[in-house]
Structure 1
Amino acid sequence: MINTTVTYLFDPLCGWCYGATPMLDRLVASGVAPTLLPTGLFSGAGARPLDVGFAAHAWANDQRIERLSGQPFSQAYLDNVLNVRGTLLDSSAATLGISAAGLEDPQRRLPALRAIQHARYVDGRDIVTASGVAAVLADAGMADAARLVATPTDDLLAAHLDLVGRGRALFQRLNADGVPSLAVIRNGAPRLIGSNALFGSYDNLVAHLQAA
């Protein structure tokens, strides 16, 4: 077991974050309970049209991620997500869904993230609209979170702004150059573990975390 506090910085529409899921799951299985903080990379000013050029760039990256991680990027994802014009690459709704799932229990953020990632990259489902995210969460057994996404409360919106704000602040403090990233926090001081450590061997990742 790794005796340290680990924070995971991510965006639910980041293919590399999806690729890092198996390594994150191994950390959880070892007894680590990572704090999940979204950075809002593809929300707000970071949202962009999913045009032909970006779709081709994303698919090329996705194939590389699949080779490195074993995480599947399906034909349904290519057909129903990347090859559909007129949609945005916007993680706002998906991130709100993760906030909703963890509103009362932060440990539910990771299962919500897994469900949202699987819905997009394997099932080819919509996770960029509130209705799409609500449907995914409902199917994952999180009906309460689904209702919150469909009709956000003031409490959820405040908690969501706080969560993303903390993620962005830590990202900037670490001078991170992208997600996924891990931060090891000891005595209030965070140390950055870059994304490369999430795509090598598990023993190498553990060594990075213990040395940080």
Structure 2
Amino acid sequence: MPSMPTITVTYLFDPLCGWCYAAAPALKYLQGVEGIDVALAPTGLFAGAGARPMDAEFAAYAWANDQRIQQLTGQPFTQAYRDHILGAANGRFDSGPATLALTAVAQTAPTRELDALHALQHARYVEGRDNTDPAVIAEVLNALGLQAAASRLHEPDDALRAALLERVAAARATMQLLGAQGVPQLVVTGQGGALQLLGGDALLGPREQLQALVRAAAA
């Protein structure tokens, strides 16, 4: 019997998106399904012009949203995160450093990029470690055995920065093409290269239903 063709699922996300953190278990599940290949597409939503200071007003807004996410999904947002990230003096809400790190992983150990994303999310939301800080990011990558990626963050070269810009531009072009609003989103590549958008809600439902939706979108 001939094997089924591999289905490519592109994950549109931002490392500092709380709902993307909520979707982490679903992405981990999809990564383990035979015949499904998960490709990461960072959108840069909270980098560059989308970054901002972590002031008291924004911190309160973020915590209220995070509590709603926790109630709906069970993903934990700890007091350590509230104290050390949201409550940090002169803190920044900037996904640029984490997105650069993930690009370094994509170039040096591409099969580990989703692992790196989940570790960076866990460091922030559970351990209360600042994943906008390049030193913290390097520690997380080194703990995963991703020394090659971590070393590239000490002095990012032009090639790495260019790769980052290319990835973000491609992700945004895909969002515009499909009319995607916000993240997380899944894009399934079907037969003949046709793209099918699955909304972020699909990532928060039953795992079996998610797999069925992906396979139906690829048909």
What TM-score comes out, normalization by structure 2 length? 0.91
- Provide closer, same or farther for how the CA distance between residues 172 and 123 of structure 1 changes in structure 2, counting only shifts above 3 A: same
For the Cα contact (< 8 Å) 1:9–1:36, is it kept in 2? yes
Partner of 1:147: 151
Give me the whole-angstrom Cα distance separating, in 1, the residues matched to 2:138 and 2:103.
Answer: 12
List gaps (5 residues or longer) in structure 2.
Answer: none
CA RMSD after TM alignment: 1.6
Partner of 2:214: 209
Structure 1 residue 106 displacement after superposition: 2.1
List gaps (5 residues or longer) in structure 1.
Answer: none
Deviation per CA, 1:51-94: give whole Å up to 9, x if none: 11211111111112222222211111011001113211100000
Alignment of 1:183-194 (within 5 A): 183-186=187-190, 187-194=192-199
Higher CA-based Rg: 2
The residue identity in structure 2 corresponding to 1:119 is: A
Alignment of 1:146-165 (within 5 A): 146-165=150-169
Match of 1:128 among 129, 132, 135: 132
For the Cα contact (< 8 Å) 2:6–2:37, is it kept in 1? no
Deviation per CA, 1:19-67: give whole Å up to 9, x if none: 1000111111212220101000000111111111211111111112222
SS in 2 for 1:34: strand
For the Cα contact (< 8 Å) 2:108–2:149, is it kept in 1? no
Structure 1 residue 189 displacement after superposition: 2.1
For the Cα contact (< 8 Å) 2:77–2:126, is it kept in 1? yes
Deviation per CA, 1:174-211: give whole Å up to 9, x if none: 11111110001122221110011111111222232223
Structure 1 residue 105 displacement after superposition: 3.3
Partner of 2:64: 60
Deviation per CA, 1:146-168: give whole Å up to 9, x if none: 11111112322222221112111
Alignment of 1:83-98 (within 5 A): 83-98=87-102
For the Cα contact (< 8 Å) 1:2–1:210, is it kept in 2? no
What TM-score comes out, normalization by structure 1 length? 0.94
Give me the whole-angstrom Cα distance separating, in 2, the residues matched to 1:77 and 1:95.
Answer: 20
Give me the whole-angstrom Cα distance separating, in 1, the residues matched to 2:136 and 2:28.
Answer: 25
Give me the whole-angstrom Cα distance separating, in 2, the residues matched to 1:121 and 1:77.
Answer: 5
Partner of 2:81: 77
Partner of 1:195: 200
Give me the whole-angstrom Cα distance separating, in 1, the residues matched to 2:148 and 2:109.
Answer: 12
Alignment of 1:110-129 (within 5 A): 110-129=114-133
For the Cα contact (< 8 Å) 1:2–1:206, is it kept in 2? no
Larger deviation, residues 134-143 vs 36-45: 134-143
Structure 1 residue 3 displacement after superposition: 4.7
